Amino acid sequence: MTTERLYYTDSYLIAFDADLIEHTTYNGAPAVVLSRTCFYPTSGGQPHDTGTLNSVPVIDVAIREADGAVLHVLAGELAAERVQGQVDWARRFDHMRHHTGQHILSQALIHVAQAETVGFHMSPDSITIDLNRPQIAPEQVDAAEDLANRIVAENRPVRAWFPSEDERAGLTLRKVPDVEGRFRVVDIADFDVTACGGTHVAHSGEIGIIKVLRVDKRGDTVRVEFRCGERALLDYREKNALLNRLAAEMTVGYWEVPDALERLREENKALRRDLRAVREVVLAAEADALWQAADRSAGYALIVHAFEDHDPAEVRQIVQHVIAHPATVALCGAAGDKAQLIVARSDDLPYDMVAVLKHGLAVWQVDRGGGRPSFAQGGGVAAARAAVEQALAAAAAALHSENVTKG
Ligand SMILES: [Zn+2]
């Protein structure tokens, strides 16, 4: 026995009684089949209703493929032969408004842009339709939105019924059903006629505003996200508050926020440029000081220094600066999570700095590094200042042993 679906004839009926005719399970949860029901099962893009059966919460409603029975999935066991059913009205009405709103918006998109709806999806977070084309102009979306809201304002009657065979032959449907024989039709007076099993409002005015939020290209289709009624109001409230907060934060009118953002972006770019120039001067001064204080006992200037306050890129700049002086060797390191050794010499000295680097990195037992004879860099492991100093000492010892002289 299949369930009599009361919502087919009256979307506004949310309290009912029925015989419990079968106990079963659905995905491991207890479920019951009733002689008749107001509960809408998930289908046709519309989510299921929620509510109670004898005060046991109904957490899911599904159609059983085999016989079309409506399964009421319950939060707990239900032991009764007669049940009182109660559907949650806020959720049902939200679904009714959005489903009828979808029919109107789909027809409006055909009117304005010949764009046909090929998909419909409704969830607590978003309501979308997919159109059979890869793009749609923003002006066309606006025009469809205008038309849809005009249909709402005209408060047109909406009729849902099962037409007779003769009646069916005379109907021009937006969407032809994929079922054989008897099917249900939803008619929004003089605007849209389509096959649909969903729950709908009785008059288009109940929908409230229909607002498109965004249009996303998805391959060969576009996805149009929209909201109706209370959800549209909540969305407007949230976005209005957000924009007002942004404007207050920037001490401008809300319409000036884009310009204020652009100014901030430009300012930020100029500041970064200035900061980079200042940093270069600071690093050059630091490099000069290091070169002045270099150990010259070996006949050239030797700088050995472990940095804690500069990242490897900055240490590189310092090294490049000092080895611009003739007869100079720099053995430097940057401590940190990804510590680096940077060893280099002026062009007039014979040392192979790649070999010097290897001696230093051997202390850390790593082999990640290389370069050219005058400039080498490597590391990439965590090393504190003391560990960097140890590695630099090994590099300096190799340099003094003269076995890293090339040629
Ligand atoms: Zn529908």
Query: pLDDT digits over 165-224, tens only?
Result: 899 888 999 988 877 778 999 999 999 999 999 999 999 999 999 999 999 999 999 999
Q: Residue 119 Cα, ligand 1 centroid: separation in angstroms?
A: 10
What mean pLDDT is predicted for residues 282-297?
Answer: 95
Q: How far is the CA of 103 from the centre of ligand 1 (A)?
A: 6
pLDDT for 237-284, tens place per residue? 999 999 999 999 999 999 999 999 999 999 999 999 999 999 999 999
Tell me how far the alpha carbon of residue 147 lies from the centroid of ligand 1, in angstroms. Answer: 19
What CATH number was assigned to the domain covering residues 92-247?
Answer: 3.30.980.10
Three-state SS across the chain?
CCCEEHHHCCCCCCEEEEEEEEEEEECCEEEEEECEECCCCCECCECCCCEEECCEEEEEEEECCCCCCEEEEECCCCCCCEEEEEECHHHHHHHHHHHHHHHHHHHHHHHHHCCCEEEEEECCCCEEEEECCCCCCHHHHHHHHHHHHHHHHCCCEEEEECCCHHHHHCCCCCCCCCCCCCCCEEEECCCEEEECCCCCCCEHHHHCCEEEEEEEEECCEEEEEEEEHHHHHHHHHHHHHHHHHHHHHCCCCHHHHHHHHHHHHHHHHHHHHHHHHHHHHHHHHHHHHHHHCCECCCCCEEEEEEECCCCHHHHHHHHHHHCCCCCEEEEEEECEEEEEEEEEECCCCCECHHHHHHHHHHHHCCCCEEEECCEEEEEEEEECHHHHHHHHHHHHHHHHCCCCECC
CATH 2.40.30.130 domain range(s) in the chain: 4-87
15 CA to centre of ligand 1 in angstroms = 23
Ligand 1 centre to CA of 49 (Å) is: 16
| Spatial CA neighbour of 71 closest among 48, 92, 90 | 48
215 C-alpha to ligand 1 centroid (Å): 21
CATH (residue range 277-400): 3.10.310.40
- Res. 292 pLDDT band, cuts 50 70 90: very high
Non-local CB neighbours of 336 within 8 Å, separated by 6+ positions: 308, 311, 312, 382, 383
Per-residue confidence band for 406, with pLDDT thresholds at 50, 70 and 90: low
Residue range 8-26: mean pLDDT, rounded: 97
Tell me where in the chain the CATH 3.10.310.40 domain(s) lie. 277-400
Distance from residue 198's CA to the centre of ligand 1 (Å): 5
CA 162 to ligand 1 center in whole angstroms: 14
- CA–CA distance, 217 with 73 (Å, rounded to integer): 37
pLDDT digits (tens, 9 = 90+) for 117-143: 999 999 988 999 999 999 999 999 999
Angle 204-235-263 from CA coordinates, rounded to 5°: 135
For residue 73, how far is its CA from the centre of ligand 1 (angstroms)? Answer: 24
Measured CA angle at 314 (ends 310, 315), to 5 deg = 80
Give me the residues near ligand 1 (ion), CB cutoff below 5 Å.
Answer: 196, 198
Cβ pair 307, 333 in contact under 8 A: yes
C-alpha of residue 324 to centroid of ligand 1, in Å: 76
CA nearest to 346, candidates 369, 365, 330, 362 = 330
Cα-to-centroid distance, 344 and ligand 1 (Å): 73
| pLDDT beyond 70 at 13 | yes
Residue 290 phi, psi (nearest 5):
-60, -40
- How far away, in angstroms, is 306 Cα from ligand 1 center? 71
What number is the average pLDDT over the span 272-298?
Answer: 95
pLDDT the model gives residue 407: 43
Q: Is the sign of the CA dihedral 258, 262, 263, 265 positive or negative?
A: positive
**Rounded to the nearest whole angstrom, what is the distance from the C-alpha of residue 382 to the centroid of ligand 1?**
61
- Compute the distance from residue 44 Cα to the ligand 1 centre, in Å: 7
Cα 149 to ligand 1 centroid, rounded to whole Å: 18
> Measured in angstroms, how far is the CA atom of residue 140 from the centroid of ligand 1?
22
* Per-residue pLDDT, 182: 87
Residue range(s) in the chain whose domain bears CATH number 3.30.980.10? 92-247
pLDDT at 192: 97
**Which of the following CATH numbers is that of domain 4-87: 2.40.30.130, 2.40.50.140, 1.10.645.10, 3.30.1330.60?**
2.40.30.130
Cα(93) to ligand 1 centroid in Å equals: 15
- Ligand 1 centre to CA of 39 (Å) is 17
pTM over 0.85: no
Using the mean position of ligand 1's atoms as its centre, give its distance from the Cα of residue 77 in Å.
33
In the reported structure, the alpha carbon of residue 383 is separated from the centroid of ligand 1 by a whole-number distance in angstroms of 64
> To the nearest whole percent, how much of the chain has pLDDT over 90?
90
Look over the chain and give the mean of its residue pLDDT values, rounded to a whole number: 95
Give residue 274's identity as a one-letter amino acid code: D
Ligand 1 center–CA 199 separation, angstroms: 8
If you measure from the C-alpha of residue 221 to the centroid of ligand 1, how many angstroms do you get, rounded to a whole number? 19
